[in-house]
Amino acid sequence: MKQVLKNPHLWIILAIMACGAVVYYADQIPVVQSIVTQAPLKLVRYSTHRILSIIPVAYAAFAFRFLGGAITAVFISLALLPRPLFISPDRPEALAETAAFLFIGLLVSWLIDRQRQTVYRLENTQQELTNSLQTIGHQQQQLASLYAISTIVYRTLDINEIAIHALNKVLEVTAAEVGWIYLRDEETGDLVLSACQGLSPEFASDAKRVKLGQNLDGQVVQSGAPLVMTTGSRELGLRLSGRDNIRTILVVPLRARAGTEGTLGIATGDQQYSGEKLELLIALGNETGITIGRARLDQKEKIITQQLRLSEERYRGLFENASEAILVCSTAGRIISVNRACEELTGYAQDELTNSAICELFSGMSLKTVRQLFSEKLERATAGETEELRLIRKDGTEAFIQLKISPLLRGDQVIGMQAIARDVTEERQLRQNMEYYITQITRAQEDERLRISRELHDDTAQVLASLSRGLDSLISEGKRLPKPTIERLEKLHKRADSALEGVRRFSQDLRPSILNDLGLVPALEWLIADIEKRSGMATKVNITGNQHRLPPEKELAVFRIAQEALSNVRRHSQASAVEMSIDFGDDALTLIISDNGQGFNMPQRASDLVLSGKLGIMGMRERARLTGGTLIVQSAVGAGTTVTLRAPE
């Protein structure tokens, strides 16, 4: 109410209403009656007064909206009402005009108020539009800055240069005078000042490297939250930038996908910094962090790409120049790439092999084996063992190869196969020739043993037996000989018997007739009984399965292996017991000889057997291989020795 009374429009309206009332009732006022009667306008019915009374109503409506106009209209209507009631001779018409004035006054007030509301809404809309345009302008500037920061990485991958460009954009948008960017050192984790503007040289030098938790930037990186500090200290501003008008310092983290890359800080003279501007600085900091993080990733990716290119070039060189054939295949067995050695081995050009199935190079059992190897490697994803297979060349000839298939992995997923083939055709031929040579030598040895055994048995043994009988007869009939002579003859007789026994034993060792006459099992039992007789060891023989004769050469090989094994037990093991097990299986004969002797350290490689002087074991292995079987020798110091032979029938 006080504000209304202080409004000058109220007093102007009251003045207009007072003047109108004086004019309207002038004929009733003696002082102004003569002036009205002499006026050029004759207002007998005072209609003009009522019409002109609309002016203060309209004025009030403009000044005080509809309520002011309505009150003014009602007030004027009440002021006009005495004349039609008491003074006017045409009372009904005067009352009607007064009522019309009230209606028109209210209508004019309503129309003016509506117009004012429309104008007010238009003004508000215009103001909102202006504000929106300003906001859009600011947002466009901010988006342009964000875009400029995000696209720096396409112009350069230098982290410091990106930091400088980003800081310039931040200062341009925020209108700050001082700014800086710290970036995290990936090796030490410290913060390093990478870009600054407006900082004093002394401060920049002192704060070149900051540890986590130190000063504002270290705290922001450690907490991950922005920090706003308001200060009225002139000394801080002078030390920071050489200016004494610094009032607010803001530091935000540079966030990226991999974590916080550093901090962005600005110093401004504003005493208070709005939340909208802080959000803008946070957005600029996040975009800067993402850009720097992407630049670091691009740098690492570039280095990795270069390393991969060099590695690929080295691998390609090794791949192409390898002496062994290499085939890279898909998981379906389709050839993707081959090297020159593979072309030479197969006779096919690379274009002919590419996209063909690797199985097409094999046939028969080799084809089945290759398919099985591919299936196993896809399931197990482990490096494959070497397999010896038969490969069909382009010209139809065969080559023997050793094939090793290994999976190519990406993480835990098998993405392909790599097959390495080594041509062993000549090696296989040499091995076959060597096996044939060894077989022939072994056969010649056995023939020579048989010949010597027979000669010893049929010739030497007979001569010694005849000599022994002659000496015995001479001793029996020579009672008239001197006693010393008889004693000498008895000694000669004993020596002859001993020599005969030795010749017979030697003949048996060379080729026991029991092997040819009775078979393998009696011969092995004779061996185990002989070792018990010679060394006094406790012996045991276990025989299982359906006993039957084997081919003579195989029986001889098994006998020689058992003979060598028992000879080693007798000479080297210092055992007190030895056990022999013979098992006649459906498809193979298994012979196991074990002792409780001192044992020895078994070399891992066959070549070490020769170097360590264990030629007997090498001979047993060769004999086992000639039978198509396998020989396994297990031994450890203090744990005895076990020899296992498996000879297929």
Q: Give yes or no for residue 458 having a pLDDT over 60.
A: yes
What is the CATH T-level fold of the domain 319-421, as seen in this structure? Beta-Lactamase (3.30.450)
Q: How confident is the model at residue 555 (pLDDT cuts 50, 70, 90)?
A: confident
The Cα 486–Cα 625 span in angstroms is 57
**Residue located via tokens 């038969």:** 390
Stretch among 269-278, 427-436, 613-622 having the lowest mean pLDDT: 269-278
Q: 540 pLDDT exceeds 80?
A: yes
CA angle 316, 321, 323 (to 5 degrees): 130
Q: Which of 56-65, 448-457, 558-567 has the lowest mean pLDDT?
A: 448-457
pLDDT tens per residue, range 340-384: 889 888 889 888 888 888 888 888 877 888 887 777 666 654 444
User: What mean pLDDT is predicted for residues 22-30?
Assistant: 69
Q: Is 642 exposed, middle or buried (0-12, 13-18, 19+ CB in 10 A)?
A: middle
Residues 108-159 have pLDDT tens digits of 888 888 888 888 888 888 888 887 777 676 666 666 666 666 666 556 768 8
Instruction: Report the pLDDT averaged over residues 510-518.
Output: 73
Using CA atoms, how far apart are residues 80 and 75, in angstroms rounded to an integer? 9
Strand order in the sheet with 209-210: 209-210, 191-197, 178-184, 259-268, 248-256, 227-230
Q: How far apart are CA 296 and CA 203, in angstroms?
A: 28
**Helix, strand, coil percent values for the chain (each to nearest 5):** 60, 20, 20
The structure tokens 């909206």 sit at 65
Helices (H) and strands (E) in the chain, counts: 23, 16
| 3-state secondary structure (DSSP) of residue 411 | coil
- Tokens encoding 527: 């061996």
Q: Which two tokens stand for residue 388?
A: 């010896």
* pLDDT category of residue 44 using cuts at 50, 70 and 90: very low
Residue 201's pLDDT band, with cuts at 50, 70 and 90, is confident
pLDDT above 50: residue 43: no
The top-level CATH class assigned to 151-301 is alpha beta
Using CA atoms, how far apart are residues 316 and 288, in angstroms rounded to an integer?
41
In the prediction, which pLDDT does 113 show?
Answer: 84
Pairing of strands 227-230, 248-256: antiparallel
- Residue 12: beta bridge partners? none
CATH 3.30.565.10 is right for the domain spanning 519-649: yes
Token code pair at residue 460: 């030497």
Structure-token match 């297990």, residue found: 634
Of all residues in the chain, the percent with pLDDT exceeding 70 is: 82
Contacts of 128 (CB under 8 A, 6+ apart): none
**SS3 state of residue 218:** helix
CA distances to 99, 274, 282, 479 from 277, in Å = 61, 5, 9, 144
Residue boundaries of the structural domains of the chain: 2-121, 151-301, 319-421, 424-511, 519-649
Distance CA(649)–CA(646), nearest Å, equals 10
How far is Cα 576 from Cα 287, in angstroms, rounded to an integer?
86
More confident position, 193 or 23? 193
More confident residue, 45 or 492: 492
Arithmetic mean of pLDDT, 265-287: 77
Q: For residue 259, what pLDDT is reported?
A: 81
pLDDT mean across residues, the chain: 79
- Bridge partners (DSSP) listed for residue 196: 180
What is the pLDDT averaged over residues 511-516?
A: 72
Give, for 372, the enclosing helix (H) or strand (E). helix 364-380
CA atoms within 13 A on the CB side of 233: 11
The mean per-residue pLDDT over the stretch 426-434 comes to: 78
pLDDT at residue 480, rounded to an integer? 67
* pLDDT computed for residue 42 by the predictor: 47
- CA–CA dist 363, 113 (Å, integer): 104
Measured distance CA(557)–CA(623) in Å, rounded? 6
Residue 272 pLDDT grade (very low, low, confident, very high; cuts 50, 70, 90)? low
Of 364, 357, 418, the C-alpha closest to 391 is 364
Report the pLDDT value the prediction gives residue 91, as an integer from 0 to 100.
78
C-alpha span between 406 and 390 (Å, rounded): 19
Which burial class, exposed, middle or buried, applies to 623 when counting CB atoms under 10 A from its CB (0-12, 13-18, 19+)?
buried
Q: Find the mean pLDDT for residues 416-433.
A: 83
Contact in structure between 192 and 175 (CB atoms under 8 Å): no
Please spell the DSSP secondary structure of 561-584, one letter per residue. Answer: HHHHHHHHIIIII--SEEEEEEEE
Using pLDDT thresholds of 50, 70 and 90, give the confidence band for residue 593. Answer: very high
Pairing mode, strands 577-584 and 538-545: parallel
CA angle 107, 110, 116 (to 5 degrees): 140
- DSSP letter, residue 251: E
Specify the pLDDT at position 490: 76
* pLDDT value of position 383: 47
Angle of helix 91-150 relative to helix 275-321, nearest 10 degrees, comes to: 30
CA pair distance 270, 630, nearest whole angstrom: 93
Confidence of residue 546 (pLDDT cuts 50, 70, 90): confident
Tell me, yes or no, if the two domains 151-301 and 319-421 fold the same way: yes
